Structure 1
Amino acid sequence: MKALRIFLPVVFTAIIISGCATRQITKKSAYSLSEVFSDDFSSYGIGQKAPFGEWKIKNPGSYFIESAIQPDGTIGNVLKTDNNGIIFIPGDWKDYFFEVKTRDGEPGVFFRLTNNGNEGYYITKGLGYMTGIRLYKFAGNTKQMIAESKGFEVKGWWDVKIEVIGNTIVVYANGKKYMDIKDNDPKLSFGGVGLGSIYGGVLFDNVRVKTIK
């Protein structure tokens, strides 16, 4: 897959005060984004079950391609998951953006997955009275919620974007920032990404991963 490089300007401003004079110094730098993985599930057949492409299966569940109305309003292939399983893309990526569109159920959007998908982080959106976005850390069969942002409700497709840089995790939903936290866990400083269902049937489309350099 050909890497896509995007250079984004970042502006740092310092103010130096000497006596009554104020001098502002602005320094510009840039970082690049390289697309290392993407999948819109269009290359698979309707009804095809995982594993397919580069996707691996962590544990038993239901993962298959079905036809649905996509986020752009057209009919096409999407991924459907159910029964608490995870499919994942192994990776040793450290700092990256992970973006995916999802709808229905309680999705599991996993990142910095290590140890064959048995350790990492994931976010999910609650249903009913549990509306909101929650961030978990997990290892094996244990999990711990480390952040929660209440009040996010949506019907239909919604966009998830996760930014991980060093020990900082930033979570966006439909372009709005809902979380910005630090978690100093050396075992989760890098890893791949995954998709799954925490509860009910969940649809996914338009997966993209871009590393930050």
Structure 2
Amino acid sequence: MSAATASARISRDELAARIAADIPEGSFVNLGIGAPTLVANHLPEGLEIILHTENGMLGMGGAPEPGRIDPDLINAGKQPVTALAGAAYFHHADSFAMMRGGHLDVCVLGAFQVSKTGDLANWSTGTPGAIPAIGGAMDLAIGAKQVFVMTDLLTKTGESKIVEACTYPLTGVACVTRVYTDHAVFEVTPDGFAVRETFGGNTVRLLAELTGLELIDATGGEV
């Protein structure tokens, strides 16, 4: 990866803030394990956005301040969280019923690959001996009304994570709405990936070179 390409990115916190800005008021939202949990720390103040945790809570807040951790309050990734006033706790089975029943407006998940038709692969690279860990991602991917993916555009070895077709085991088929990366925001459309916004001086032409895909310019700016 060239130095120019390496600098044409935004940080994970900046990306989390960008995703948070796209979540409508009144939404019920699940944040997947890993980087997506950062979104909780950037939700606009004054808006009612209710966070759901897979392990059984509605009304999750952001990360606690140092020294104010409650060991009984954790998210699905076992990270300490806070509970907002009016938060509710419930059985794991009820939590999955909410996920599977179409009651979540948005979920934010990580990904190894997303195909141009919106297929999601985020639980295994197929590495021999790897421990299966699909967890609740399959239920979230199919049950949420909108699926936002938060990921780096490229792997550590420079391969694109948005692809023509997934080569890793699938989590869900045709389920992804939008892909937020450190280089740009991509919308999944019937005609393939549309670039909605670019970061760090990236252009649609450069992104096409990085991904090897034909991309639709929906930025209204420079190609």
Q: How does the TM-score come out when normalised to structure 1?
A: 0.27
Higher strand share: 1
Q: How does the TM-score come out when normalised to structure 2?
A: 0.26
Higher RCO (C-alpha under 8 Å, 6+ residues apart):
1
Larger-Rg structure? 1
